[in-house]
Amino acid sequence: MRKKILGALLSVAMVASLLVGCSGGAASSSSGASGSAESAGGDKGLVGVAMPTKDLQRWNQDGANMKSELEAAGYEVDLQYASNDVATQVSQIENMISAGADVLVVASIDGSSLGTVMSQAKEAGIPVIAYDRLIMDSDAVSYYATFDNYMVGTKQGQYIVDTLDLENAAGPFNMELFTGDPGDNNANFFFGGAMDVLNPYIESGKLVVQSGQKEFADVATANWSSEEAQKRMENILSSYYAGGTQLDVVMCSNDSTALGVTNALAANYTGNYPIITGQDCDIANVKNMIAGKQSMSIFKDTRTLASQVVKMVGQILAKETVEVNDTETYDNGKGVVPSYLCEPVFADVNNYKELLIDSGYYKEADLQ
């Protein structure tokens, strides 16, 4: 069933378990200004790292962790952020190719908009690792490294099922849905995984989407923007919940959309606070979790993903077999891309200290 759902989605566009899912990681270091090259001397080769934006906390952490790990392993690193502008990212990757990068690690802004520059990389003989977001419609993508994105969604959906006790509770419960950018292939997996869990309860009437907005196109949020999510949530509240109707759940695919939803609720909603899901364990959202304003967030330890990518870079350049654990799921329109999937876990008020503070991901002062 899962493969069937994944195929359909693609066609339309506590610590221990985490550490088992990926290699161990290292602490993050600071990264430089957006759009400027960041390099350090290394004798193993040049690795170009293209990140989408510095506007979201998680990409700052990803970039910093990647740079730190690669430099520690002896590579020269060209780390660039593209301010969520596709043309900028294309130009940055072209410059990396011209500079003689030995490997490219690319977290795309729009996975379907890099075909031409990926062809340039292939022509230059440069392997490409798609980082966390699959690059679509290109045969130049050598490998894909990410977290199990479908599992992210199923964990969010199951959290809702368990917290509301939907197997036993009579309901109905009112729910609204928010997912991410339609150009991000991962958003399809996040949303699809959650809806595979939640749809039976929607169909039975136990979960009711008062706005009627249930399709991906209706609930997608451009650029994963908190501001856009807030605007849409404000419209939903004024249209469907202004008369005192209780809102029980808001399924948000990540923390930036959850933050927008929380901001809208703070200004426009007086009922009992709903369950709100998220992803990335951003500092602002963990603070909201501690304050009872957000229920959970999927934790994807970017240190472990960075470590795995560094390992893959080394294996590529040494012409060794590259470690992957999925050769079936991620078809980018030109073929199945060999992938390494790290396993996500969820954090809530009961386990965030163990996952986030005890592991060294955050300091306790960061969350105060």
Which pLDDT value is given to residue 42?
58
Where do the H-state alpha helices sit in 35-148?
57-72, 86-98, 115-123
Mean pLDDT, residues 54-68 taken together: 89
Average pLDDT over residues 262-275: 94
Q: How would you class 41 by CB atoms within 10 Å of its CB: exposed for 0-12, middle for 13-18, buried for 19 or more?
A: exposed
Find out whether the peptide bond into 172 is cis, omega within 30 degrees of 0. Answer: yes
Predicted local distance difference test score (pLDDT) of residue 15: 37
The ranges assigned to domains in the chain are 23-141+302-342, 149-299
Topology of domain 23-141+302-342 in CATH is: Rossmann fold (3.40.50)
What average pLDDT does range 8-19 have in this prediction?
A: 38
pLDDT for 27 beyond 90: no
Residue 147: what pLDDT?
93
pLDDT tens per residue across span 69-118: 999 999 999 999 999 999 999 999 999 999 999 999 999 999 899 999 99
Residue 325: count other Cβ atoms within 10 Å of its Cβ: 14
Report the SS3 class of residue 249.
Answer: strand
Beta-carbon contacts of 64 under 8 Å, excluding residues fewer than 6 positions away, are: 28, 29, 30, 31
Query: Whose CA is closest to 20, among 344, 279, 352?
Result: 344
Residue 111: per-residue pLDDT = 87
Q: Does domain 149-299 have CATH number 3.40.50.2300?
A: yes
pTM above 0.75, yes or no: yes
Bigger pLDDT: 65 vs 278: 278
Q: Label residue 33 exposed, middle or buried (CB < 10 Å: 0-12, 13-18, 19+).
A: exposed
Q: Do domains 23-141+302-342 and 149-299 have the same CATH topology?
A: yes
Inform me whether the pLDDT recorded for 2 exceeds 60. no
Count CB neighbours of 211 within 10 A: 20
C-alpha span between 80 and 99 (Å, rounded): 13
Residue 45 has what pLDDT? 94
Kindly tell me if the per-residue pLDDT of 309 is higher than 50: yes
Q: Under DSSP, is residue 168 helix (H, G, I), strand (E, B) or coil?
A: coil
pLDDT tens-digit map of 139-196: 999 999 999 999 999 999 999 999 999 999 999 999 999 999 998 889 999 999 999 9
Pair 29, 350: CB distance under 8 Å: no
pLDDT at 43: 75
Q: What is the pLDDT of residue 17?
A: 40
State residue 11's pLDDT score.
39
The number of angstroms, rounded, from the C-alpha of 130 to the middle of its chain's C-alpha atoms is 13
- The reported pLDDT for the residue numbered 244 is 87
Other Cβ atoms less than 10 A from the Cβ of 327: the count is: 10
92 burial level (CB within 10 Å; 0-12, 13-18, 19+): buried
The predicted pLDDT at position 28 comes to: 31
Are 306 and 298 in contact, with CB atoms under 8 Å apart? Answer: no
Question: Are the C-beta atoms of 137 and 150 separated by less than 8 Å?
Answer: no
Question: Is the pLDDT assigned to residue 248 strictly greater than 90?
Answer: yes
Q: What is the mean pLDDT of the chain?
A: 89
- pLDDT grade, residue 205 (50/70/90)? very high
Helices 149-164, 185-204: crossing angle, 10 deg rounding = 30
